[in-house]
């Protein structure tokens, strides 16, 4: 379906192939690289947490010189639905963490104050945050189970795609947000140049969206911990894949001949969403969100001065919590929690999932040409396979 001349794609699975890409893309495990010790879930995705669904709309249109308002367009929006009910009427416990704060995620002040996630989570480009936020409110008022909704503080995160995309053109519109919600599904999740990650750059290669999950063994609780990332950060020389200094081993001349122009090494941002069905309290969700930092660091993120590294974790392990804005509940509510000593393997699983999600984003992303003929090349997977085969571990 086309909206205003833009090629609009609703991604439930797969990825978009863009001009300049010839090498087939693959997820990290398809290259023979398995991160960490815990096994992934069925889809190795955030949708392995029961009830979680993901919808994405990708907007790609035009080539050549930048004409503000007309394109070229390389952007989109991603929506994560935290459970299969009305998140506003049945909130979840959640927590957030900021590694470096040159970025935005709306709604987090209320999460920190109340401990509740009360809206879907959307991720888009920096200049479309307001449109997406308003669209979430409009959708909730029109389609939710609370037609008398009087207030909402939607969660919308962003990373900057203005090196490839006409970011001032405001090409993400309300109908795209609604379509992402309406097409959200469980199962496989599209990765790479899709949804909000369409125009992103990671470690000076093409970046975008990625996901991964871990299932703890029964003796450690049996819970699922999963990550979804929109990766748009980092310097090439810092990139490591399962300990391999891939960024140093692939000179710029081997891929593009020149550096991808950035203002400073490491500029950019990353949004990380962590989900689990372990019954966590808000402070435990906050602690879980902090562990995204570990997975990011293993790949090569350092929280650069101008980077927006913002993380959110939520738990579906305490369903049936009352609407925090309701005055009807005037009695104690029974909840569950994981004892603190059991948190360590959950932390480990989160770090593994974040690390692999970032690398899945890079492995699945394709070479993309955007405004003014600017091209960002995909990570060369053949080289990654070669390096992986030489590992002594």
pLDDT in tens, 3-22: 344 555 655 433 333 444 46
The CA distances from residue 324 to 143, 152, 287, in Å, are 20, 12, 22
Contact 132, 97 (CB under 8 A): no
Other CB atoms within 10 A of residue 355 CB: 26
Q: What are the extents of the domains in the chain? A: 2-326+333-376
Find out whether the peptide bond into 377 is cis, omega within 30 degrees of 0: no
Among 24, 376, 79, 9, which residue's Cα sits nearest to residue 199?
Answer: 376
**Catalytic pick among 128, 213, 235, 269:** 269
* Ranges of the chain whose pLDDT falls below 50: 1-5, 12-21, 257-258, 263-264
Q: Is 309 an active-site residue?
A: yes
Query: What is the pLDDT, as a whole number, of residue 103?
Result: 96
For 138-166, b/e burial (b = at least 16 CB within 10 A) is: ebbeeeeeeeeeeebbbbbbbbbbbbbbb
Q: How is residue 144 written in tokens?
A: 């939710």
pLDDT at residue 258 in the model: 46
Q: Is 185 a catalytic residue?
A: no
312, β-bridge pairs: 96, 273
Q: Please say if 326 is a catalytic residue.
A: no
Tell which residue, 359, 368, 363, 362, has the closest CA to residue 256. Answer: 368
Quote the pLDDT of residue 143.
75
Q: Which residue from 196, 193, 191, 150 is spatially nearest to 325, judged by alpha carbons?
A: 150
The domain 2-326+333-376: what is its CATH number? 3.60.70.12
CA 235/CA 204 separation, integer angstroms: 6
Nearest to 68 by CA among 162, 176, 181: 162
Contact in structure between 354 and 273 (CB atoms under 8 Å): no
Place of tokens 């003929």: 373
- Catalytic residue selected from 309, 323, 326, 340: 309
Q: State how far the Cα of 295 lies from the Cα of 291, in Å rounded to an integer.
A: 7
Rounded to an integer, what distance in angstroms lies between the CA atom of residue 179 and that of residue 59?
Answer: 12
Rounded Cα distance, 371 and 63, in Å: 7
Catalytic entry in 307, 323, 326, 340 = 307
pLDDT number for residue 7 = 53
């Amino acid at each position: 379906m086309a909206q205003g001349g833009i090629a609009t794609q609703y991604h439930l699975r797969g990825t978009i192939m863009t001009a300049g890409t010839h090498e087939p893309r693959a997820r990290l495990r398809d290259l023979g690289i398995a991160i960490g010790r815990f096994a992934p879930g069925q889809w190795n995705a955030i949708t392995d947490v029961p009830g979680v669904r993901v919808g994405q709309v990708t907007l790609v249109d035009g080539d050549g010189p930048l004409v503000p308002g007309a394109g070229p367009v390389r952007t989109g929006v991603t929506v994560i639905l935290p459970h299969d009910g009305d998140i506003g009427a049945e909130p979840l416990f959640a927590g957030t963490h900021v590694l470096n704060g040159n970025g935005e995620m709306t709604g987090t002040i209320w999460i920190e104050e109340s401990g509740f996630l009360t809206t879907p989570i959307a991720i888009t480009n920096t200049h479309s945050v307001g449109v997406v936020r308003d669209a979430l409110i409009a959708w909730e008022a029109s389609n939710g189970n609370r037609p008398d909704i009087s207030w909402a503080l939607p969660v919308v995160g962003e990373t900057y795609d203005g090196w490839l995309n006409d970011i001032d053109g405001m090409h993400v519109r309300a109908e795209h947000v609604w379509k992402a919600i309406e097409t959200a599904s469980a199962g496989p999740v599209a990765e790479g140049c899709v949804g909000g990650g369409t125009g992103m750059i990671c470690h000076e290669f093409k970046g975008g969206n990625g996901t991964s999950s871990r299932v703890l063994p029964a003796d450690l609780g049996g819970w699922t911990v999963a990550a979804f990332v929109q990766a748009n950060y980092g310097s090439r020389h810092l990139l490591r894949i399962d300990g391999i200094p891939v960024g140093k081993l692939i000179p710029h001349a081997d891929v593009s001949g020149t550096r991808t122009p950035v203002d400073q090494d490491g500029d950019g941002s990353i949004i990380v969403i962590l989900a689990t069905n372990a019954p966590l309290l808000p402070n435990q969700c906050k602690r879980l969100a902090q562990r995204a930092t570990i997975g990011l660091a293993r790949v090569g993120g350092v929280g650069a001065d101008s980077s927006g590294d913002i993380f959110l974790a939520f738990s579906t392990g305490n369903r049936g919590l009352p609407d925090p804005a309701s005055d009807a509940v005037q009695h104690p509510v029974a909840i569950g929690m994981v004892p603190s000593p059991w948190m360590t393997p959950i932390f480990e699983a989160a770090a593994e999932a974040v690390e692999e999600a970032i690398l899945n984003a890079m492995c699945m992303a394709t070479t993309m040409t955007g405004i003014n003929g600017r091209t960002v090349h995909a990570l060369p997977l053949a080289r990654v396979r070669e390096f992986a085969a030489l590992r002594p571990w």
